């Protein structure tokens, strides 16, 4: 588990700037904490000392906070300044963190959406393609707690902790030895515990997710159960699943919390040990009272960022998982269809498909499997065949939206034959007017019913004036009157010279077509 994804630093500008600024603010915070500790030591030491203090008990660090801070008024004035600075630093850090988190999420979201769009319909139909919607809507949100809570503490543990160790070393080497001795134990123990329990935790996590999704599945099926009068049985099942889930979760938590306990135990015990040894050495006069006080105040600060990193560990895991999902998309290479030649004008051109085959995402079938067809201008060509055998995919290949696994799409013009794969993809695609099965009409389209959306998309395709009109199941969700009207308009469009290609099950539309092409899938031989 990496705490920080280098790709975030490398590729996302706002993330890089934020990390640098936060590190600087962290250093400033460390210096303020140091001054606070030294000032407390100066102010309190004269009260505790049995005799008036003669020497400077802080060694070379005493130059930072002069001896006049032993005067209460001076110390309080200094402390007020330090507190004001710390308040300002905290406020700035919080503001920057929220802003940077929001910026990084926006930036990643835009990049992922653009890249996913460029990856094309075949990738979109694969498992990764369907997961990307979750990533860009809710998934990336977990980066906000990562940036606001986790990352600052991570950077503090890289700045405050080492600085404090140097300071403690300068004050009292025995205390520093205790700190330096225990500090590496923290990550070592955490890694050890994490390593031995990882498999178990992963198994539990998986079981938990499965149980949770089964409960939701039951709720999703509630309308169906209710329609069949079977809704009351599963409440007991929900309880059962939940209890199983609780046991699985507690099993993993008992182990997962162990690392937290070790962390707390080591850090607090180390502070206690520092205090006790300081006490016994004070009795011998082996250490000055000012040093003892400063070290006592500073010792917990060494561990604080590490403890906070542990506390916000889940924010790190979620944030990194979200970043991972985003970068996985961004790192998928784009195999853009098409070439660099200018596309021919498709008005009046005959479209030819030869031996076209596209593998399904699971690779088990070719859908379509070796399709050959011809679509002439001024005619209606109907693609028919069972659901899932590749009619929509054939249309996408025809429009140059995807590169087929074999076969090709070409245009026959008076100038000759041009292969779709050799021309600039957008020049080719944008000569088609397309009404897909589930048209996306932007935000305003989401308030329309399926039938209404279908009508709007058909209107757009039939009135765009583009040379080739491609309609995918144009009559589904329409009633008989609208269906007849659409069929008439399709015929009219062909009569004006457009090349019309439809995928359909509708008998009346098939009857109205000039040519009917059967699309069938092929099983891939294993």
Partner 1 sequence: MTAAKGALRSLLRESDLPRRRVALSILTGSAALGSAVGLSAIAAWLIARAAGMPSPADLALAAVVVRFFGIGRGLFRYLERLVSHDTALRGVVALRARVYERLADARVDAVLGLRRGDVLARIGGDVDAVGDAVVRAVIPLGVAVVVSGIAVGISGFLDPAAGVVLAAAILVAGIGAALLTWRSARIAAVAGVAADARVAEAALSGLDGAAEHRVWGTAAAAHDALAEANAASERAQEAAARPASLAAAVQQLAAGAALIGSLAIAVTSANAGDYGATTAAMISLLPLAAFEAVNAVPAATQQLFRSQQAARRIVAMAAAESPASSPSPAPAPSPAGGRYTAEGAPAGAPRGRFPVTGPALELDRLSAAWPGMAPTHPATAAVPGGGVLAIVGRSGVGKTTLLLTLAGVLPPAAGEVRIGGTPTRRDLMGPTIGMTAEDAHLFGTTVLENLRVARGDVTEEDARETIALVGLDAWVAGLPDGLDTVLGSGGNTVSGGERRRLLLARALLTPQPVVLIDEPAEHLDAAGRDALDAVLGRLRDEGRTVVIVTHHLHLTALADAVVSLDD
Residues 106-145 that bind partner 1 (CB under 8 A): 106, 109-110, 113-114, 116-118, 120-121, 124, 132-133, 136-137, 144
Rounded Cα distance, 397 and 404, in Å: 7
Which of these segments, 156-164, 174-182, 224-232, 341-349, binds partner 1 (CB under 8 A)?
Answer: 224-232
**Interface residue with partner 1, options 7, 214, 314, 370 (CB under 8 A):** 214
CB of 506 to partner 1, least distance (A): 10
Pick from 196, 213, 372, 406 the residue near partner 1 by CB under 8 A: 213
- Site residues for partner 1, 69-88, by CB under 8 A, read 72, 75-76, 79-80, 82-84, 86-88
Q: How far is the CB of 115 from partner 1 (least distance, A)?
A: 10
| 56 backbone dihedrals φ, ψ, rounded to 5° | -80, 115
Residue 421 tokens read as 């794969």
Task: Give min distance, CB of 33 to partner 1, in A.
Answer: 11
Choose between 9 and 464: whose C-beta lies nearer to partner 1.
464
Site string for partner 1, 387-416 (x = CB under 8 A): xx-------x--x-x---------------
Taking CB under 8 A as the binding criterion, the range among 155-163, 198-206, 316-324, 428-436 that sits at the site for partner 1 is 428-436
Helices marked H in 126-184: 127-137, 143-145, 151-171, 173-182
Contact segment (CB under 8 A) with partner 1 among 170-178, 180-188, 259-267, 343-351 equals 259-267
Q: Which of 74, 126, 201, 249 binds partner 1 (CB under 8 A)?
A: 249
CB of 370 to partner 1, least distance (A): 20
Distance, in Å, from the CA atom of 42 to the CA atom of 39, rounded to the nearest integer, reads 5
Whichever of 268 and 372 has its CB closer to partner 1, that residue is: 268
Contact between 245 and partner 1 per CB under 8 A = yes
What sign results for the dihedral spanned by CA atoms 122, 123, 129, 132?
negative
Q: Distance between terminal CA atoms of the chain?
A: 39
Q: Which stretch binds partner 1 (CB under 8 A): 156-164, 166-174, 245-253, 411-419?
A: 245-253
- By CB under 8 A, what part of segment 28-67 binds partner 1? 36, 40, 43-44, 47-50
Output 2 or 96, the one with its CB closest to partner 1. 96
- Residues 464, 500 contacting (CB under 8 angstroms): no
Using the rule CB under 8 A, give the single segment among 375-383, 384-392, 407-415, 485-493 that binds partner 1: 384-392
Q: Are 46 and 53 in contact (CB under 8 A)?
A: yes
CA angle (104 as vertex; 99, 108 as ends), nearest 5 = 155
Dihedral sign of CA atoms 313, 319, 322, 326 in order? negative
Given the complex with partner 1, which of 6 and 333 has the nearer CB atom?
Answer: 333
The correct pick among 24, 191, 238, 341 for binding partner 1 (CB under 8 A) is 238
Contact string (CB under 8 A) for partner 1, positions 295-324, x = contact: -xx--x------------------------
447 binds partner 1 (CB under 8 A): no
What does the alpha-carbon distance between residue 333 and residue 78 come to, in Å, rounded to a whole number?
58
Q: Say whether residue 202 binds partner 1 (CB under 8 A).
A: no
Q: Largest Cα–Cα distance in the chain?
A: 111
Q: Which of 482, 485, 489, 516 binds partner 1 (CB under 8 A)?
A: 482
For residues 84 and 495, which CB has a smaller minimum distance to partner 1 in the complex?
84
Question: Closest CB to partner 1 among 199 and 444?
Answer: 444
**Residues between 499 and 518 that touch partner 1 (CB under 8 A):** 505
DSSP letters, 202-265, are: HHHHHHHHHHHHHHHHHHHTHHHHHHTT--STHHHHHHHHHHHHHHHHHHHHHHHHHHHHHHHH
Query: Cα(50)–Cα(382) distance, rounded to whole angstroms?
Result: 103
Q: Does 285 help bind partner 1 (rule: CB under 8 A)?
A: yes
Q: What is the enclosing helix (H) or strand (E) of 373? A: strand 371-375
Q: Does 519 bind partner 1 (CB under 8 A)?
A: no
Q: At 388, is the secondary structure helix, strand, or coil?
A: coil
Instruction: For residue 9, count other CB atoms closer than 10 A to its CB.
Output: 14
Assigned token pair, 212 = 């949770």
At 43, list the tokens.
């102010």
Of the pair 89, 180, the CB lying nearest partner 1 is at 89
The two structure tokens encoding residue 222: 């509630």
Q: Which helix (H) or strand (E) holds 435?
A: strand 432-435
Decide if residue 526 touches partner 1 (CB under 8 A).
Answer: no
Segment lying near partner 1 (by CB under 8 A), choices 59-67, 182-190, 240-248, 317-325? 240-248
Instruction: Say how far residue 89 (Cα) sits from the centre of its chain.
Output: 29
> What number of helices (H) and strands (E) belong to the chain?
18, 11
Is residue 402 within 8 A of residue 358, CB to CB? The reply is yes
- Judged by CB under 8 A, the chain residues 342 through 381 that form the site for partner 1 are 362
Q: How far apart are CA 116 and CA 113, in angstroms?
A: 5
Minimum gap (Å) between residue 324 Cβ and partner 1: 18
185 contributes a contact to partner 1 by CB under 8 A: no
Tokens representing residue 269 in the block: 């015990």
Between 232 and 414, name the residue whose CB sits nearer to partner 1: 232
Between CA 132 and CA 135 the distance in angstroms is 5
Do the bridges between strand 380-384 and strand 515-518 make them parallel or antiparallel, or are there none, so unpaired?
Answer: parallel
- Restricted to residues 163-182, the positions that interact with partner 1 (CB under 8 A) are none
**Residue 279 touching partner 1 (CB under 8 A):** yes
321-340 binders of partner 1 (CB under 8 A) = none
């Amino acid at each position: 588990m990496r705490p920080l994804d280098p790709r975030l630093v490398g590729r996302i500008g706002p993330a890089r700037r934020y990390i640098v600024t936060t590190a600087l603010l962290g250093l400033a915070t460390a210096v303020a904490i140091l001054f606070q500790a030294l000032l407390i030591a100066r102010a309190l030491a004269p009260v505790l000392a049995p005799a008036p203090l003669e020497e400077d008990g802080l060694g070379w660090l005493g130059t930072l906070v002069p001896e006049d801070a032993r005067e209460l008024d001076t110390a309080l004035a200094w402390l007020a300044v330090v507190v004001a600075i710390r308040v300002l630093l905290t406020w700035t850090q919080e503001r920057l963190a929220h802003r940077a988190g929001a910026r990084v999420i926006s930036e990643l979201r835009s990049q992922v959406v653009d890249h996913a769009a460029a990856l094309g319909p075949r990738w979109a139909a694969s498992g990764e393609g369907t997961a990307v919607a979750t990533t860009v809507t809710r998934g990336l949100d977990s980066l906000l707690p990562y940036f606001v809570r986790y990352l600052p503490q991570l950077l503090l543990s890289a700045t405050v902790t080492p600085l404090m160790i140097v300071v403690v070393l300068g004050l009292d080497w025995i205390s520093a030895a205790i700190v330096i001795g225990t500090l590496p134990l923290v990550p070592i123990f955490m890694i050890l515990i994490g390593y031995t329990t990882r498999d178990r935790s992963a198994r539990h996590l998986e079981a938990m997710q499965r149980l949770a999704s089964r409960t939701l599945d039951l709720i999703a099926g509630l309308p169906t159960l209710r329609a069949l009068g079977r809704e009351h049985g599963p409440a007991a099942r929900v309880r059962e699943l939940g209890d199983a889930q609780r046991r699985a979760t507690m099993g993993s938590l008992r182990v997962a919390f162990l690392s937290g306990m070790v962390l707390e135990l080591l850090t607090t015990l180390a502070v206690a040990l520092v205090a006790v040894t300081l006490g016994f050495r004070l009795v011998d006069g082996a250490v000055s009272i000012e040093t003892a006080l400063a070290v006592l105040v500073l010792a917990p600060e060494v561990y604080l960022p590490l403890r906070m990193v542990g506390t916000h560990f889940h924010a790190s895991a979620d944030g990194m998982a979200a970043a991972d999902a985003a970068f996985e998309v961004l790192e998928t290479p784009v195999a853009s269809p098409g070439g660099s030649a200018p596309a021919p004008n498709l008005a009046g051109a005959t479209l030819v498909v030869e031996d076209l085959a596209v593998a399904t995402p699971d690779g088990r079938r070719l859908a379509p499997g070796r399709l050959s067809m011809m679509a002439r201008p001024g005619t209606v060509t109907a693609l028919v065949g069972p659901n899932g055998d590749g009619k929509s995919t054939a249309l996408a290949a025809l429009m140059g939206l995807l590169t087929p696994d074999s076969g090709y799409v070409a245009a026959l013009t008076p100038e000759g034959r041009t292969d779709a794969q050799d021309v600039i993809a957008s020049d080719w695609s944008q000569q088609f007017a397309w009404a897909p099965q589930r048209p996306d009409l932007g935000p305003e389209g989401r308030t329309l019913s399926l039938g209404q959306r279908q009508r709007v998309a058909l209107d757009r395709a039939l009135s765009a004036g583009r040379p080739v009109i491609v309609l995918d199941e144009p009559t589904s969700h329409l009633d008989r009157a609208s269906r007849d009207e659409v069929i008439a308009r399709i015929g009219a469009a062909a009569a004006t010279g457009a090349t019309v290609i439809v995928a359909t099950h509708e008998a009346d539309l098939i009857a109205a077509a000039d040519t009917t092409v059967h699309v069938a899938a092929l099983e891939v031989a294993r």
